[in-house]
């Protein structure tokens, strides 16, 4: 959307879109640099940024005013996205799950008490969240999950194991899916909970990836406790809320990652390497006249252009953005590898010294892009989703759809 796009006046701030744009620009130019001055450390910088954004009235644009929000509509959100593109500190990814997925799910499905308790601190970045969906035997087939929750007086008691839990090591709370009735078919006996992470019954073990980082973890729950009312949505109705949260995740990992700035060095590796940077790399390595390299650059450039046109369309399935990101991300990383690091799989980052962004940048992307194809749903699952929901093809056969969970054959 551009400044010339016709706007729906009803969703604008009362002082108009131009004033809102100025407000955002002033925040980025003046308020934010002052707030961040001298703040060191990844988490500290992430939390300082979020608090500054929230306190400036820009951290909860489409939330009710009761929770520090502005009740703004899509025009203001689009304007905000456009002005902040390339200027959001990279540490913001700490809040991808809390602000991007858990908060909108609690806003839309949580009780008044849960909204009152969790929205403000979550949106202000005071509390960090993770997503505890996947299990060793339940990834794409999420509804087969085995973690169990049973009510005991005023508390739910949870036992089971999760895996791939991004950010669990520094999270205060998790959005947890657990089975609450094994007599029901697998999709119908699941409940969504808010799990306090800092308690005796929860053990978090980091898993080191080939980038050298431990972004995700295994989480073991051994009679972990959850207050009775920390249920998001209906008991045994968690599949509906789980799917709603996944839709926010697809927007996060899909449409949002289509918005990278041409020159931005996205160290987090969340967006494909921009073609402008690959051209610079090809020139620096004396390969810019190589016809094979040029052909690949042209293909990647076309991908960037196509996605920039797609972004202008309303009602686009987030799965398209997610698929584009992973396909473009892998192709861009492969080209970078062939230009810069023929031995890239042998690269190992020295985490004992501060990162050298320029040296590590391409190597990090090359190693990280494979995982990006899995998180948020694999490419095959995105294609299934597009086939069934966007193209209206018959649903994948599910012979176990109506069978009680406790009668299913499981590994």
Q: What is the contact surface with ligand FAD in residues (CB under 6 A)?
A: 130-134, 139-140, 164-166, 216, 371, 374-375, 377-378, 380-381, 384, 396
Q: Which is closer to ligand FAD, CB of 120 or CB of 187?
A: 187
How far apart CA 189 and CA 359 sit, in angstroms, is 49
**How many angstroms separate the CA atoms of 26 and 5, rounded?**
23
Strand (E) or helix (H) holding 249: helix 238-250
> Distances from the Cα of 321 to the Cαs of 73, 86, 210, 310, in angstroms?
22, 18, 25, 9
Is 113 annotated in the active site?
no
Residue environment code for 391-405, b if the CB has 16+ CB neighbours within 10 A, otherwise e: eeeeeeeeebeeeeb
Please, which residues bridge with residue 174 across strands?
Answer: 130, 195
Distances, alpha carbon 44 to alpha carbons 37, 49, 58, in Å:
12, 9, 19
| List of E strands, 143-189 | 148-152, 155-162, 173-179
**What single-letter DSSP state applies at residue 344?**
G
Query: Which residue lies nearer to ligand FAD by CB, 76 or 130?
Result: 130
Catalytic residue among 91, 127, 135, 249: 249
Nearer to ligand FAD, 177 or 300 (CB): 177
Nearer to ligand FAD, 73 or 139 (CB): 139
Q: Are strands 216-227 and 202-207 parallel, antiparallel or unpaired?
A: antiparallel
Task: Please name which of 295, 293, 296, 272 lies closest in space to residue 284, comparing C-alpha atoms.
Answer: 293
Which CB, 260 or 377, lies closer to ligand FAD?
A: 377
Please, what is the minimum distance in Å from the beta carbon of residue 379 to ligand FAD? 6
The least distance separating ligand FAD from the CB of residue 215, rounded to whole angstroms, comes to: 6
Distance (Å, whole) CA 349 – CA 327: 25
Residue 195 CB, nearest distance to ligand FAD (Å)? 12
Least Å distance, CB 271 to ligand FAD, is: 14
Which CB sits closer to ligand FAD, 273 or 293?
A: 273
**Least Cβ distance, residue 256 to ligand FAD (angstroms):** 16
Chain position whose Cβ is nearest to ligand FAD: 139
Q: How far is the CB of 217 from ligand FAD (least distance, A)?
A: 9
Alpha helices in 37-167 (DSSP H): 42-55, 74-84, 103-109, 112-123
Enzyme catalytic residues? 249
């Amino acid at each position: 959307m551009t400044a010339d796009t016709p706007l729906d006046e009803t969703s604008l701030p009362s002082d108009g879109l131009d004033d809102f744009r100025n407000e955002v620009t002033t925040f980025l130019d003046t308020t934010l640099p002052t707030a961040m001055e001298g703040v060191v450390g990844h988490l500290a910088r992430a939390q300082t940024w979020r608090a500054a954004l929230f306190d400036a009235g820009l951290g909860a644009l489409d939330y009710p005013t009761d929770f520090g929000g502005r009740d703004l509509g899509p025009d203001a959100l689009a304007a905000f996205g456009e002005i902040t593109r390339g200027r959001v500190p990279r540490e913001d990814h700490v809040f991808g799950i809390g602000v991007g997925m858990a908060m909108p799910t609690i806003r839309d499905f949580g009780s008044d008490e849960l909204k009152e308790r969790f929205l403000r601190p979550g949106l202000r970045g005071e509390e960090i969240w993770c997503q505890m969906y996947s299990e060793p035997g339940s990834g794409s087939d999420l509804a087969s999950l085995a973690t169990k929750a049973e009510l005991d007086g005023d508390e739910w008691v949870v036992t089971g194991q999760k895996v791939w839990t991004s950010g669990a090591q520094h999270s205060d709370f998790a959005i947890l899916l657990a089975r609450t009735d094994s007599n029901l078919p697998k999709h119908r006996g699941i409940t969504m909970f808010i799990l306090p992470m800092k308690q005796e019954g929860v053990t978090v073990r980091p898993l080191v990836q080939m980038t050298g980082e431990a972004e995700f973890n295994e989480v073991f729950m051994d009679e972990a406790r959850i207050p009775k009312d920390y249920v998001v949505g209906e008991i045994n109705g968690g599949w509906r809320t789980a799917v709603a949260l996944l839709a926010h995740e697809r927007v996060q990992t899909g449409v949002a990652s289509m918005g990278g700035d041409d020159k931005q060095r996205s160290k987090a590796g969340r967006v494909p390497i921009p073609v402008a940077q690959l051209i610079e790399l090809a020139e620096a390595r004396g390969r810019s006249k190589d016809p094979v390299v040029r052909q690949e650059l042209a293909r990647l450039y076309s991908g960037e252009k196509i996605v920039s046109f797609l972004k202008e369309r309303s009602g686009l399935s987030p799965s398209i953005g997610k698929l584009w990101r992973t396909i473009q991300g892998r192709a861009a990383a492969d080209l970078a590898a062939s230009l810069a690091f023929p031995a890239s799989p042998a690269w190992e980052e020295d985490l004992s010294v501060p990162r050298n962004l320029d040296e590590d940048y391409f190597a990090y992307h090359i190693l990280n892009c494979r995982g990006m194809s899995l998180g948020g749903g694999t490419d095959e699952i995105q294609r299934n989703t597009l086939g069934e929901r966007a193209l209206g093809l018959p649903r994948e056969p599910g012979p176990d759809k109506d069978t009680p969970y406790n009668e299913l054959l499981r590994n």
